[in-house]
């Protein structure tokens, strides 16, 4: 079903991340397996909108959340748009598909106080692993970078005198992210320990495994979850939670929304606006607690 051509397209022309490509591949393989099993369809030309609706119903029946269904359908829509663009198809069956409603979900964050406890009071070991783990969490929280971006940060990406980090984001777009003197000191200390630990290692990446190799996603996730679990009971304790916390804390402290957008590497301001909601909710609580007429009811 031209799947390999599509995956090459999003990898080399659209420059999607490896993680996104894998997600698209899994979604499309699930769909093709479903229509083959349920309708004995082996050609993409045979797919109609009701086949897609049936798949959505089946997903919902398995307990897949509306948000996840939206993501899977987004993969399918991109696939069909590609097929039409390349003139493999004449009609797009996804245009007639109505998505299930999703409720607005605020990003999960770690409170500022909890982050302060983690970075100031929690003890990290003083060997390479401990210093590296703390440096990873500090860098996540200080810059708001994504997990894939952190894994691919190289020492040469730092402009030490300017205290600026060059980040290669989604679609290989580059952005510059500033950092403060506190992080600069930690970075200097980390690089010294890294050099002493791997004296003959020419690996260019900033963070290494204990064997001197580039980090991998699961290791980064496990490190972040381990330490966030010490100071928080929120359900999601992932690198992306630190990214959400970075943006929300900036917004809470009065940072301009456009500046946050640039720091995060968002292409649209709409993607950044979600971080203002937590600030508004806090303001509502302050208002309800402090304003003398906030609790007065009109009979």
Which residues carry out catalysis? 146, 170, 240, 243, 266, 275
Number of H helices, E strands in the chain: 13, 3
**Element holding 68 (H helix, E strand):** helix 66-85
C-alpha span between 218 and 48 (Å, rounded): 38
User: What DSSP designation does 111 have?
Assistant: -
> Partners of 205 in the beta sheet?
154
Residue pair 213/243 in contact by the 8 Å Cβ criterion: no
Q: How far apart are CA 191 and CA 186, in angstroms?
A: 9
Interatomic CA distance for residues 198 and 231, integer angstroms:
32
Q: What gap in Å lies between CA 31 and CA 24, rounded to an integer?
A: 11
Q: How far apart are CA 207 and CA 152, in angstroms?
A: 9
> What is the Cα–Cα distance from 234 to 185, expressed in whole angstroms?
30
Helix, coil or strand: residue 134:
helix
């Amino acid at each position: 079903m031209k799947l390999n051509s599509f995956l090459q397209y999003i990898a080399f022309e659209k420059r999607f991340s490896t993680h996104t490509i894998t997600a698209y591949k899994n979604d499309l393989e699930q769909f093709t397996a479903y229509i083959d099993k349920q309708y004995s369809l082996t050609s993409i030309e045979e797919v109609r909108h009701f086949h897609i609706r049936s798949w959505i119903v089946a997903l919902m029946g398995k307990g897949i959340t509306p948000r996840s269904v939206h993501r899977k359908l987004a993969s399918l829509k991109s696939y069909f748009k590609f097929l039409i663009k390349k003139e493999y198809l004449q009609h797009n069956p996804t245009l007639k598909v109505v998505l299930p409603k999703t409720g607005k979900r605020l990003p999960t964050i770690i409170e500022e106080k909890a982050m302060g406890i983690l970075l100031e009071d929690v003890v990290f070991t003083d060997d390479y692993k401990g210093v590296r783990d703390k440096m990873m969490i500090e860098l996540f929280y200080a810059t708001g970078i994504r997990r894939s971006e952190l894994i691919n940060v190289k020492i040469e990406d730092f402009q030490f005198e300017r205290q600026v980090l060059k980040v290669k984001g989604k679609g290989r777009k580059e952005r510059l992210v500033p950092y403060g003197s506190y992080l600069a000191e930690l970075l200097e200390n980390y690089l010294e320990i890294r050099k002493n630990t791997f004296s003959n290692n020419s690996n260019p990446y900033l963070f290494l495994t204990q064997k001197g190799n580039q980090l991998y996603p699961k290791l980064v996730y496990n490190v972040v979850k381990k330490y966030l679990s010490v100071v928080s009971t929120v359900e999601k304790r992932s690198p992306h939670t630190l990214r959400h916390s970075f943006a929300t804390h900036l917004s809470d402290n009065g940072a301009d929304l456009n500046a946050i957008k640039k720091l995060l590497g968002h292409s649209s301001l709409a993607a950044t606006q979600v971080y203002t909601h937590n600030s508004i909710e806090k303001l509502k609580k302050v208002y309800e607690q402090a304003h003398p007429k906030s609790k007065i009811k009109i009979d």
